[in-house]
Each structure stands twice: as C-alpha cells, then as structure tokens.
Amino acid sequence: MTLALPEELHNLMKRHPDVKWSEVARQALWQKAAQLDHLDKILAKSKLTEKDVEELSRKVKREIARAHGLHPR
C-alpha cells in the first residue's frame, strides 16, 4: 500500500525518525477496520430502511440546531 501524505505532515514525521510510522499506520488501519466491522454487525441486525435513517438524521440535526439557537422553532 502506498499513501500520499501532505508535505506538512511528511515534514512533521521526518522530525521524529524514532517513531515507527508504518506501525502507527498499521494500528490506525486495524482500529478503523475493527470499528467498521463492529458497525457492520450492528447494522446487519437493523430493521431501519435508508429512508428511516435519513428522516432520523434530519430530526437529530434539527434538534441540535434548535438547542444551539441556530434554527427557529
């Protein structure tokens, strides 16, 4: 696998040659993959449709906006 890094990040990493960056990346990839696997298992049991999820998302966003005074009642 090859990763494209922004120059600023690459320069920061070069200042810390003692860090095994490939190991940091491997651990981050494992963590993300495990989170996605867990989410897949939860979603496999869900009876919600995509339409249901979209409606819930709109309601949650609206209530968050109201709680922060960003949306009129």
Residue 24 covered by a domain: yes
Q: What is the pLDDT of residue 70?
A: 83
pLDDT in tens, 7-29: 999 999 999 999 999 999 999 99
Establish if 47 belongs to a structural domain.
yes
Identify whether 14 is part of a domain: no
Dihedral angle, C-alpha 46, 52, 34, 9, nearest 10 °: 180
Q: What is the pTM of this model?
A: 0.61
Q: How high is the pLDDT of residue 31?
A: 98
CB-CB contact of 71 with 62 (8 Å): yes
Tally the domains of the chain. Answer: 1
- The answer as to whether 48 is a domain residue is yes
User: What is the rounded average pLDDT for all residues in the chain?
Assistant: 93
What is the 3-state secondary structure of the chain? Answer: CCCCCCHHHHHHHHCCCCCCHHHHHHHHHHHHHHHHHHHHHHHHCCCCCHHHHHHHHHHHHHHHHHHCCCCCC
Q: Is residue 1 part of a domain?
A: no
Give the type of residue at 9. Answer: L
Q: Note down the domain range covering 38.
A: 20-67
Q: Is residue 40 part of a domain?
A: yes
